[in-house]
Homo-oligomer: A and B are copies of this chain.
Amino acid sequence: MKKPSIAVILSGCGYLDGAEIHEATLTLWAIHKHGADFQCYAPDIDQHHVVNHITGKEMNERRNVLIESARIARGKVLDLTKFKADNHEALVLPGGFGAAKNLSTYAFDGAECAVNTDVKKAILAMVAQKKPIGALCIAPVALAHILPGINITIGQDRGTAENVEKMGAHHTATSHGEIVIDRKNRIITTPCYMLDARVDQIGEGAERLIGALIEMIGS
């Protein structure tokens, strides 16, 4: 039997300006652990900015989201414009500020945010084929923006939860390693580093999310 192929959209490499590295890595780890395969994608655009992860300050540099994402994907990452829903059984968006700065403008515009055109296209194409979507950490805000009425979690942060509700989604508070499954809309979310977490708790959340996603593929 062919292994299910799960598409993973990355947003750079490093939680302050790109994809959260532990969430992204543990998503790929969980996909392999569950016997599935992955294909990483990222938009071929400049990062919003580059942040020194020690000081938290902006650096005077430019980096490309697709090229930096390749660090996490060990080179095997495709331009998101090449995404075809036909080639995948599910889609996952790991978190990190990259999801809120490069894939969407959530970090700047909150509930009024815009979502990158190709990210939006990929999400809508999966929804049209009734294929499940998972999102970790802050990445669910992009889903909330595009898919009204879905039930998601971003952990326990009140401001973010309020924004999610403003965008028309329902928010369920969760703790470490927990997932929220919206069976009707085929969306699964988990809070990860939206909580102050240990790395093994990120692994728990990613593993549970991917497990539920793969179960949903077959149902």
Contact = CB atoms under 8 A, between A and B. Distances in A.
A201 B52 CA distance: 31
- Chain A at the B interface: SS class: helix
Interface residues of A, number: 34
Contacts of A29: 22, 26, 199-200, 202-203
Interface string A110-141: 00000000000000000000000000000000
Contacts of A198: 32
Nearest to A35: B200
Q: Count identical subunits in the complex.
A: 2
A16 B76 CA distance: 13
A77 interface: yes
A90 B11 CA distance: 34
B25 A53 contact: no
A177 to B, nearest CB: 12
Given A25-B26, A54-B75, A75-B53, A32 B200 contact: yes
A66 to B, nearest CB: 7
Given A21-B21, A25-B26, A53 B32 contact: no
Contacts of A154: none
Given A15-B74, A25-B21, A71-B13, A200 B33 contact: yes
Nearest to A18: B71
Contact of A77 (B54, B67, B70, B74): B54
A53 B72 CA distance: 9
Interface of A: 13-16, 18, 21-22, 25-26, 28-29, 31-33, 52-54, 56, 61, 66-67, 70-75, 77, 198-203
The 3 tightest CB contacts between A and B, nearest first, are A14-B71, A53-B70, A25-B25
11 contacts: A14-B71, A18-B71, A22-B28, A25-B199, A28-B199, A31-B199, A32-B199, A32-B201, A33-B200, A53-B74, A56-B75
Given A53-B71, A54-B75, A54-B77, 12 more contacts: A14-B70, A14-B71, A15-B71, A21-B74, A26-B29, A32-B199, A32-B201, A52-B70, A53-B67, A53-B70, A53-B75, A54-B66
